[in-house]
């Protein structure tokens, strides 16, 4: 957009200049909106792929309830060397088979019994 050499700008030149500026603004806005939409779709696609493939990091960690249930199941089947539930104060509890152990810390009443 060169400025004309003549000091006086005609009305047609002003109209052309405004139209060129508006076209430039439309292109910039279109690129920004298009880039934002593309980034939004790409991020949601990534989240969808991670969840569909089963690699959810939040579900990968075992909760204390799952761990306590697994420990209680393994001790009730009579497996030796398994650890029993431990209260939050650190005392060892006994389970239905009578074996005691430490290693599992429970929070808020997850233990089956306390000694």
Q: What is the pLDDT of residue 110?
A: 56
Average pLDDT over every residue of 103-115: 55
Top pLDDT among 63 and 79 is at 63
Domain ranges of the chain: 11-58
> How many whole angstroms from its chain centre is CA 45?
13
Residue 67 has pLDDT above 60, yes or no: yes
Q: Is the pLDDT of residue 82 over 80?
A: no
CA distance 93 to 87: 7
pLDDT at 54: 84
Closest Cα partner for 64 from 113, 110, 112, 114?
Answer: 110
Summarize the confidence of residues 74-79 as an average pLDDT: 59
């Amino acid at each position: 957009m060169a400025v004309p050499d003549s000091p006086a700008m005609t009305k047609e030149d002003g109209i052309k200049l405004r139209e060129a500026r508006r076209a430039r603004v439309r292109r910039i806005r279109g690129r920004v909106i298009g880039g934002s939409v593309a980034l939004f779709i790409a991020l949601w696609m990534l989240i969808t792929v991670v969840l569909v493939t089963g690699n959810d990091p939040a579900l990968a960690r075992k909760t204390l309830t799952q761990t306590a249930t697994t420990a209680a199941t393994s001790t009730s089947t009579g497996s030796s060397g398994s650890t029993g539930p431990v209260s939050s104060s650190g005392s060892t509890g006994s389970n239905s088979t009578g074996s005691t152990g430490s290693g599992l810390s429970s929070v808020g009443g997850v233990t089956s019994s306390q000694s």
